[in-house]
Every structure is written in C-alpha cells, then in structure tokens.
Structure 1
Amino acid sequence: MTAADNRCRLVLIAPDHSDTDACVKMMEDALKGGDVASVIIPQYGLDDRLFQDRAEKLVPVIQAAGAAALVVDNSQVAGRAKADGLHVSGAVADLAEAIEKHAPKLIVGGGNAKERHIALEIGDAQPDYVFFGRLEGDIKPEAHSKNLALGEWWAAMIEIPCIVMGGTAIESALAVAQTGAEFVALRLAVFEVPERAAAVVAEINALLDEKAPRFDG
C-alpha cells in the first residue's frame, strides 16, 4: 500500500504527439515524478500499425513504474502490447461487450457517461471504473463543472470507482479530489511542457497528499 491509496490518485492520459519516441520519453519522465495509478493510451487518429508500435513501446514503460496501461477502444492492440486493460469510449453496448469478452483478464472501464442515466447504465455492466469527461476534454484550466457534479453524485452513491477528467491547471486535480472521486485524469496539465512533466506529477501528488480528502477505511 502506498501513501496515496487512501485518497484520490492520478491517472495520466498519454499525450497526442506525432513522434512515438518523443511520446515515450515524455511518459518516462512524467512517471518519475511520483504516484500514478494508470495511464490511458488513446489512438489519436494513428493507423493500427502505428498505434500498435506506440502501445508496445509505452506499455512496458508504464508497467515498470507500477502503473496500469489501458489502451483505448482497440482490444487487438491491447492484447498484442500486453496492456493491463481496455478503456471503452463508445456506447454502453460496446462496453458491455468488452466486459463480457475481456474481463476479468483485463481491466475494462468506460467513459461517455454524459448524464446520470447513462452512467447508471454503464454501472449495470459492472465495469472496473466509470470515466466522466472526454479524454481530450481538458480545454480550460478548471475541470468541467458537469463532470465534477457527476463525479460527486457517483462517488456518494456507487461503489464502482470513477475517474473524472481534470483541466489544464494543476489545481483542477484537487477540485476533482474534493468530489470524492477515486481518480483524476490529466493530460495537458502534465504534458504541455514536456520538460516539466516529472515536476508537475510531483506537485500534483504533493497537493493531493496535503489537501485531498481521505477515504474511509
């Protein structure tokens, strides 16, 4: 057990960078900054061959740091890269099918929970987590207020963990933590200035260590 296990933890979303080797270097640096629960790897428009190459280079780096590597929407790439899980961004039916096919061998979680009733439908499929927000939804310094509200509602009612998308500011991680959500996802806040990635992860963890509410038990 780490010191972070009883409060909101950081989830990274791999950066959208055309150069895979640069992307891997950015991830290596970020993971040196401290606790990261998992890393979500989107395809970002890459063809399957290039995405396969990227995943195969990122997954071992992520796993070596003790984080779970989650590939977005491509179970073949996830399997070939020996990823820990699959992040399903599509409809509830897609998520339910992925859970049936791949759980519990793989972690399977889902997003696209834009409303409460959709979130509850996702919950009925018993994913490993529910994601509130869009993977590329960090367009403002603060986390989207709707995602914060959904995360707070979910965390108060449902045992399935949730991840809430943060904003471009480090402080948005604390706003997510204060909802009771188990995880905060960040992308540009960490990777926008690549040479600062490790320092930013360290700052986020220090902020959460100091100010994030603790979970019961």
Structure 2
Amino acid sequence: MNRPRLFLVTPTRFEPGKLAIELKAAFQGGDVASVLIYMPSASSKELQAAAEQLVPIIQEGGAAALIYGDTQVAGRAGADGAQIETSLEDVKLAVESLQPSRIVGAGGTKLKHEDMEWAETGIDYLFYGRLDLPEKEDPHAKTIARAQWWADLFETPCVALAGNTVRSAEIAAETGADFIAMKDAVWQHADGPASAVAAINTILEDYPFEDEN
C-alpha cells in the first residue's frame, strides 16, 4: 500500500564529513526516498565538493540524491536530479537538460497558477515550503493549504515541508502529499538521526493513499 515517504533536506550549513556520518545513521532508521543537498549560500565549487562526498552515500542508502539550485553540479557529481526554485524558464531548462535520466523538482512558487504552469513543464515533483525561513515546530499554514489543494486535484507528486519536530510529520501527511520533507527534526533530534527517521516512518505508515483503481 502506498503512503507518504520521507524527503530529507540537509542542514543549510554543514561539514560534509560530519554529515556523511549522520546520513549513514539516518538510513539505519528506515525508509528515505530522497535527500536534497541544500547549500544556498555555497559557491559552485563548495557545492561540487560536498556533492561528490555525499551523493554516493545517499545512493548507497537507497535514496535519490538531489542538488538544490544547480543542474551542472547535479550532472558532474552523478546526482539523481536537481530542485530549481528560481524561475519558470530555469525550470524548463532543467527539464530539457536533465530528463528523462534524472529527476527535476521545482519549488518557490507563490501563486496557484504558477504551480500549474511549472507542473506543465513535466517536472517530477512540486515542493511546498520555504527552505530559507527558520523552521518552527509546525509547518507553515500556507504550506499545508497549498499542498492539500495540489494533492487533491493534480497528478504531479508534491512534497510538503513539515516543521522541526517529529510530530509535525503528522500535520504534513494529512495533506495527502506524496513526500514529507524534514530537516532540523532529523539532524537535531535528541536521540540522533536514526531514531528520528524511525519515528517519522512510524507516523507515515498511518497515512496510506487511497487506492485509485
């Protein structure tokens, strides 16, 4: 039976060697669909170096390795895809350059008609939630409303960004989103990433998708 899957987002700032250890631990906790390497303030060289170290670990863990904002690094590092949030034109270019062999996700839209325009490019998923804002205990109300609207009406998968607590996965999963994105709830968990991932997966098991057949 289908149910939401965990979409991990790396901390905004991290030391690749330390995060590599934490990623290996996280995979011990259970199912992880994807890991987004999120380094918005890094140079292309810094992002490339981190990706070269982390992408193999992510893929060995059975997850898709995604690069935030840079299709060239995604290609050079052997990542599984990229997430683009800059403009519709950039999304179109990413689809042209990466698909069908790699994943293209998009996010950062502000209006519903933008969501539909971006989805029409053939992206693999639409990301709801602001990664550039400090995380709170619960997901942002707008994130939840938009993800629920999208999940109810459209076929393109969507990702809903939860809050910085494990229990916030419940609120995000109630939207019907295909993937639940989590960041600080995993990396800053008191008992470590493996415990966080295990607890989140236990929560997500309670939100099966309806059989459309």
1:186 equivalenced with 2:185 (yes/no): no
Give the alignment partner of residue 113 of structure 2, picking from 117, 121, 134. 117
Cα drift, residue 125 of structure 1: 1.1
User: Hey, which of these two has a bigger chunk of helix by percent?
Assistant: 1
Match of 1:162 in 2: 158
In 2, Cα distance between equivalents of 1:115 and 1:162: 15
Cα drift, residue 91 of structure 1: 1.2
Post-superposition Cα deviations, 1:5-46, rounded to whole Å, max 9, x if no partner, equal 601111000123342111211111112110010011122322
- In the alignment, is the contact (CA less than 8 A) between 2:95 and 2:104 conserved in 1? yes
Q: SS state of the match for residue 12, structure 1?
A: strand
**Structure 2 counterpart of 1:104, one-letter code:** P
Match of 1:212 in 2: 207
Post-superposition Cα deviations, 1:128-166, rounded to whole Å, max 9, x if no partner, equal 000011224452110111111111110111100000111
Match of 1:145 in 2: 141
Superposed CA RMSD in Å reads 1.5
In 1, Cα distance between equivalents of 2:66 and 2:192: 23
1:81 equivalenced with 2:88 (yes/no): no
- In the alignment, is the contact (CA less than 8 A) between 1:33 and 1:201 conserved in 2? yes
Query: TM-score, length-normalised on structure 1?
Result: 0.92
Question: Any unmatched runs of 5+ in structure 2?
Answer: none
Q: SS state of the match for residue 6, structure 1?
A: coil
Cα drift, residue 195 of structure 1: 5.4
Match of 1:92 in 2: 88
Q: How many residues align?
A: 212
Mean CA deviation greater in 179-188 or 26-35: 26-35
Give the direction of change, closer, same or farther, for the CA distance of 1:195–1:49 in structure 2 (3 Å limit).
farther
Query: TM-score, length-normalised on structure 2?
Result: 0.94
In 1, Cα distance between equivalents of 2:190 and 2:11: 10
Post-superposition Cα deviations, 1:78-121, rounded to whole Å, max 9, x if no partner, equal 11110000111211121111111221121001001222111111
1:28 equivalenced with 2:24 (yes/no): yes
In 1, Cα distance between equivalents of 2:102 and 2:211: 27
1:51 equivalenced with 2:47 (yes/no): yes
